[in-house]
Amino acid sequence: MKEQFVAYIKDLQNTITSKIEAIDGGATFKQDLWERPQGGGGRTRVIENGNVFEKGGVNTSEVFGELPESMQAYFGVKEANFFACGLSLVLHPLNPMVPTVHANWRYFEMYNKQGVLIDQWFGGGQDLTPYYLFEKDAKHFHQACKAACDIHDPLFYPKYKARCDEYFYNPHREEGRGIGGLFFDYCKKSTKMQIKDWYNFVTQVGDSFLDAYTPIVEKRKELQYTPEQKDWQEIRRGRYVEFNLVHDKGTLFGLKTNGRIESILMSLPPSVQWRYDHQPEPGSEEEKLITVLKNPVNWA
């Protein structure tokens, strides 16, 4: 399974980066191959200062070795080894009318000291973080997520949409990071789903990503915007940074397993503002966004 999923994410990385370069029409991805001293490595691809994308990364990694003590305590095991692989992406557009997007699809195996597989699971999802709310875009993104889920189980979309709203939440701000999408984790073998079934589901979601996101980019990338709207985008990016550094499990896992810091922090936007006690104008488009972030909507 791990060889099959590694092949899938590398192929998907090629597909996504080619499409994003075509949309941008200016910048191309810089590739950075790296190795982890304790085992494994990855293929980081970063785009910067493009016509459409101010910064973005589409990264694959496969790392393995002894599970650090901090992670042993987290998983409730002792002296275990692990293998983890995945594709993680974040795209920060230049135009504040285009939403930021994040996605991640990953696979994890755990072994005892004799090398026997003792656990395995999939996780991942994709979510949208707009700066200005276009309801048609929100519905399109969520409908694409729902369509991918419905092929496998009609209960998946409402279940994983709710988990996404719960996970990507900044409790210290009492608001969501964005308008959600899908979030699933610890997708293990059960009486209903074999590990191969989970592979089929996760790859279905991965294959849906470009259809979910790129039509929105194409529709909004040429819209005019003001300096004040760019300021708002950068203020909202500050909330994005807060979530990633304080709450995100992927960031914490990478840091605790001695991951490559440049690849882990690739998700952070290039220009951000923190203004003291900034509040949007009553009745404004900015306030409309905040209202939705505090009260999640069933878009699909």
CATH number reported for the structural domain that contains residue 9 in this entry: 3.40.1500.10
- Rounded to whole angstroms, the Cα distance separating 191 from 195 reads 11
- Rounded to whole angstroms, the Cα distance separating 205 from 185 reads 13
The helix/strand/coil state of 60 is strand
In a domain? residue 9: yes
- Rounded to whole angstroms, the Cα distance separating 250 from 245 reads 10
Question: Partners of 88 in the beta sheet?
Answer: 59, 104
Q: What is the pLDDT of residue 72?
A: 78
**7 is in which domain, residue-wise?**
2-294
Global confidence as pTM: 0.95
Q: What is the pLDDT of residue 249?
A: 84
Q: What is the pLDDT of residue 261?
A: 86
- What is the average pLDDT across 257-267? 82
In a domain? residue 299: no
In a domain? residue 80: yes
In a domain? residue 91: yes
Active site includes 102? yes
pLDDT of 258 strictly over 80: no
Least confident of 10-14, 62-66, 173-177: 62-66
Domain count, the chain: 1
Q: What is the pLDDT of residue 113?
A: 84
pLDDT of 259 strictly over 90: no
Which residue is catalytic, options 102, 140, 152, 247? 102
In a domain? residue 300: no
Query: Do residues 8 and 37 make contact, with C-beta atoms less than 8 angstroms apart?
Result: no
- Rounded to whole angstroms, the Cα distance separating 2 from 29 reads 26
